[in-house]
Structures are given as C-alpha cells and as structure tokens.
Amino acid sequence: MLIVKKFGGTSVADKDRIYNVAQRCIEDYREGHDVVVVLSAMGDTTDDLISLAKTINPEPKKRELDMLMTTGEQVSVALMAMAMDAMHVPAVSLNAFQVKMNSTSRYGNARFKSIDTKRIRHELDSRKIVIVTGFQGVNKYEDITTLGRGGSDTTAVALAAVLHADKCEIYTDVDGVYTADPRVVKDARKLDAITYDEMLELATLGAKVLHNRSVEMAKKYGVELVVRSSLNRSEGTIIKEKVKMEKMLITGVAADKNTARISVIGVEDKPGIAFRIFNTLAANNINVDIILQSVGREGTKDISFTVAEDELKRALEVLEEYKEALTIQDITYNAKVAKISVVGAGMMSNPGVAAKMFESLYNSRININMISTSEIRITVLIDEKDIEEAMNAVHEGFALALVE
C-alpha cells in the first residue's frame, strides 16, 4: 500500500514531536507500506520568517517572500530524515526542485500544474521513506512559489493523486471532523465519514480542519482523505465521494464569525444596478456571500449582502468611492454578525430541513437576518452574540449528538 501522510507545523514543532511523527511513519513502513510524508514548517517558523522579512522591507516582493518562507519546510524535512535515520530507517528529504513540483507562476498563491513522480518512485523503490516539503512549488521561470493557505494539505493530496496512493492521511491537532466545533457544542460527535461536498461546505464555513483547495483536488482526483490526530490513535474521519447514510439528515453545524453585513440603501430600481454594484466589488477582489434584496422607499431598492469581516473596510471604501455612480443614497453596515450553517447530503431528499433549523432558532429566540441555501447547505445570518447558543440549539434540534 502507498500511504501519503501530511503533518502540520504544530506536529513537528520540537524534537519530541518530530520523533512522534517519525514513529508513526515508521510503523506503516515496517508493515511493508510505501510511505510519503509531507511536512509544513516547524511551529511558528513561517510567521517568524514573514516578520523577519517585514523588518527588512514592509512590503516584500512575493517572489522573494516565497524564496524566504520555503526554507521553513526544508528545515522540517531535513530534520525528519535525520530523526528517522537515528531510528535506523532509511529516509530521504526532497524539496520542490528535487521532486519537480511544477506550479503556476503566481507567487504566494500558486497552483500545481504537474508533478514528476520519477524521483519519489525511485526513492520508494529503494525502500526509503520519502519526506517532501509541503506548501511549495517551482514555476516555469524555475522560481520557488508557495501555494497559499492550506498549501501543505494541497501538496499531500496532489502527491496522493499523481502517485495513485491508497490513502492520504491529513494529521492535525483534532481527532477528525465533528458535527460541530466541540469547544462550542459539548455534545458534538466525531464523524466516521463525510462526503467531499459536505466537507467543502463545512470548510468554506470555517470548520478549519481542511482547506477547501485540498478537498476540491481530492474530489477531482478521487483521493480518499483521512483527517486524524497526530497526538492519539483515534481513527479519524474519512472524506470520500459517497458515504453510507446513517439515518442522518445533517452532517454538521458550522459557524463563521468572520463575516459582516453591508446594506446599500435607496438604489435606483433600474435593471443592471445590482449587477454593477457586485461587479464593482468583484473588480476590487471583494467576495460577496449572502445577498438579500428588498423594496425600499419611493420606488428604490435596498440591497444587503455579507462580506468577510476583514474585507469590510475595503468594501466600504469601494462603495463610498462609487456611491454616486451606483445611485446609492446611504450605506450601513454591521460587523457584529455571524453565519451558522447546517450541512448534509441528506437534505437533498428531505424538504423539512430548513423548517427544522428555523424552528430550533425560533425556540431559542434567535433572530434570523438573512438566509442562503445550496443543495446540501442552509446558512443563516444571526447576531454574533447569539452564535454559541444558536449552534447548540441547531445541533440539538437535529439530534446530531444522539444518532449513531
């Protein structure tokens, strides 16, 4: 069996943890499996390097920032190979140049284009554990790129895809994917399995276990993922195309506080105005999420929408700049809002899900500001202060904790 195992920065933050990771990889190796390990930079290394860069130049060029940051993973992989060597297991570390992890040109946010498997195959064939730097690629100029947030997960999934790995294990500091954040909902239950689509909805909504891009790539190439803890032996959560329904409508409840509502008041009720508003925001790289349009006074319209809270300031600036052209009379906003979502492939064939969710929130006297739905997700916007109560209410409403 060929297993790709990815460990994040906290899992390799010090000597003991490096040895812990080495041990887990060696167990698979000793059972006769081929093992490819993908590592992030140790602990806070990446942040430290960015801080160092900013002391030299407050706005470093992304090309040079990538050149700098990628040293972090190279340190991790070299140390891991040394640890395995100390444990008498042949291992070899490889960086993006050595593997030939070809990426698009865009520094700081590159995508993989192709990965050469020859070197890795050669090392596996000579029965070595292969340890690869996560997060990094090489573009057509032969410059180092980084993949942006969640990049090491993407590296692991990409390697699993091109190597046709039997398993791709993503190790984190949680046991797996939960029906809700266990720090908020104490009855939250670990899921044995979840579909790619459900995971994508959860990841987008801030479940933070896996980055979207890695799940999208896993879905595209049919790579079966396992999310599990590097700190214990729990089985984790499998993420795949189809999951046996466990009589559950809903897979999980997710919250996202990084959201803000903006309302543009009294815009002309003419065709194309809404389009121009959202087009202007998009042209400024501001992603709009939930949209609600309502009739305003004297034949005008009010349009409300949500943006990520950290993009609120820029969104307001853009709207202010184009206020007149967009026929906006007034702009209001509220950063103290949050999204709560229920996700589940089961809701496609069950029309009562939305009603159930609204009922749970109503019973807890929680006000709903806006609503957005997809085939397998219902999201509502509520006041930020209500978020914990809302999560528990919804979780309980769907009895997520009870179904086994």
CB nearer a second copy, residue 59 or residue 404: 59
CB of 123 to a second copy, least distance (A): 10
The 10 Å Cβ neighbour count of residue 110 is: 27
Q: Which stretch binds a second copy (CB under 8 A): 90-98, 261-269, 295-303, 331-339?
A: 90-98
- Candidates 10, 44, 50, 63; binder of a second copy (CB under 8 A) is 63
Q: Which stretch binds a second copy (CB under 8 A): 92-100, 306-314, 342-350, 391-399?
A: 92-100
Which residue stretch of 3-11, 24-32, 51-59, 101-109 sits at the interface with a second copy (rule: CB under 8 A)?
51-59
**Residue of the chain from 23, 31, 47, 57 that contacts a second copy (CB under 8 A):** 57
- In whole angstroms, how close is the CB of 250 to a second copy at the nearest point? 45
Site pattern 110..129 for a second copy (x: CB under 8 A): ---------x----------
Is 97 buried (19+), middle (13-18) or exposed (0-12) by CB count in 10 A?
A: middle
Q: Is 68 in the site for a second copy (CB under 8 A)?
A: yes
At its nearest, how many Å lie between a second copy and the CB of residue 133? 10
Q: Site for a second copy (CB under 8 A): which residue of 20, 33, 50, 64?
A: 64
Rg of the chain on CA atoms, in Å: 23
Site string for a second copy, 13-32 (x = CB under 8 A): --x--x--------------
Compare residues 57 and 293 and give the one whose CB is closer to a second copy.
57
Among 23, 27, 52, 183, binds a second copy (CB under 8 A): 52
Site for a second copy (CB under 8 A): which residue of 13, 20, 44, 49?
Answer: 49
Total of chain residues touching a second copy, rule CB under 8 A: 36
- In angstroms, give the least distance from the CB of 25 to a second copy: 15
Residue 125 beta carbon to a second copy: minimum distance, rounded to whole angstroms: 14
Site string for a second copy, 127-166 (x = CB under 8 A): ---------------xx-----------------------
- From the list 4, 25, 39, 83, which residue makes contact with a second copy (rule: CB under 8 A)? 83
* Contact (CB, 8 A) for 34 and 3: yes
Of the candidates 396, 397, 338, the residue with the CA atom closest to the CA atom of residue 188: 396
Q: Which of 40, 46, 74, 392 binds a second copy (CB under 8 A)?
A: 74
> Binding marks (x or -) toward a second copy, 286..325, rule CB under 8 A?
----------------------------------------
Q: Are 171 and 10 in contact (CB under 8 A)?
A: no
- With CB under 8 A as the contact rule, the residue among 61, 149, 220, 313 that binds a second copy is 61
Residue owning tokens 């730097």: 133
What pairs with residue 303 in β-bridges? 264, 293
The residue ranges that bind a second copy (CB under 8 A) are 15, 18, 49, 52-53, 55-58, 60-61, 63-65, 67-68, 70-71, 74-75, 77-79, 81-83, 85-86, 92-93, 95, 97-98, 119, 142-143
